[in-house]
Structure 1
Amino acid sequence: MKRFTDDEMKALLPTAKAYSVVILKAGPNYHNPEAAPIVWEHGRRNFGLRDDGVLSVVLPVTDDSDVCGIGVFNCPTEEAVAIMESDPGVVAGVFVYDVHPCRGFPGDQLR
């Protein structure tokens, strides 16, 4: 692991950009038998948001917690809230969510 100098850190930190992180959790209708097609449409919408460049990272959570996924949105929190409020899973009560402002470095990627 490279050790960054203070000068290198001071040069890189201003290149960070504002993003919004969404933490998706199981809602009151998560375990309903009718939830599966709604979750499928939620996923279809995520593919579209990814394709549009609005949803930079999608991370389905695969443990047994109430957290269903984490998404990093390339937009202000107000816009992320508006996007989530029209999500089919949220509208149907399959999911609930929290949105938090965050910062990250454009071009970071999963490996």
Structure 2
Amino acid sequence: MSDLPEITDAQMQEMLPSANPYSVVILRAGPKYGTAEAESVIWEHGRRNFALRAAGALSVVLPIIDDTDVCGVGIFDRDLQTTTALMEEDPGVMAGVFTFDVHPARGFPGDALPPEPV
């Protein structure tokens, strides 16, 4: 993209210290993904995601819509330990429909999804 704004070293040095810690979850298809009982479990997993969003724990939830084993990405406003504990209690994980990995990440104040895709 040639129309990107120029970002100077000074701007980067000013922004980097403002990064905040988050946890990123990569949700993958588990051994029971695609089974007859998985659909209702996935529905309850989604309901729980909405509750986690409403509680402020899950900042961004991104269901993945391709044909890979990655089913979703979540950005949690919690530390690794808390996020791992939350995911271990997920109905989809408990039922073997999903597995997950948790990674530490940093995000910048004001980062957000645009209201409408470009």
TM range (shorter): over 0.9
Q: Which residue of 2 aligns with 1:65?
A: 68
Q: Are 1:30 and 2:33 counterparts?
A: yes
> Which amino acid letter does the alignment assign opposite residue 76 of structure 2?
F
> Which amino acid letter does the alignment assign opposite residue 57 of structure 1?
V
The number of residues matched between the two structures is 111
Q: Are 1:110 and 2:108 counterparts?
A: no
Distance (Å, rounded) in 2 between the aligned partners of 1:52 and 1:107: 19
Deviations 1:43-92 (A, max 9, x none): 00000111111101100000000000000000111111000000000000
TM-score normalized with structure 2 length: 0.91
Q: SS in structure 2 opposite 1:9?
A: helix
Q: Are 1:11 and 2:23 counterparts?
A: no
> Which amino acid letter does the alignment assign opposite residue 71 of structure 2?
C
Q: Are 1:93 and 2:96 counterparts?
A: yes
- Supply the RMSD in Å over aligned alpha carbons: 0.7
Q: Which residue of 1 aligns with 2:54?
A: 51
Distance (Å, rounded) in 2 between the aligned partners of 1:64 and 1:9: 37
Distance (Å, rounded) in 1 between the aligned partners of 2:61 and 2:92: 15
Gaps spanning 5+ residues in structure 1: where? none
Q: CA deviation at 1:4?
A: 1.4
Distance (Å, rounded) in 2 between the aligned partners of 1:35 and 1:63: 18
Distance (Å, rounded) in 1 between the aligned partners of 2:91 and 2:110: 29
Gaps spanning 5+ residues in structure 2: where? none
Q: Which residue of 2 aligns with 1:42?
A: 45
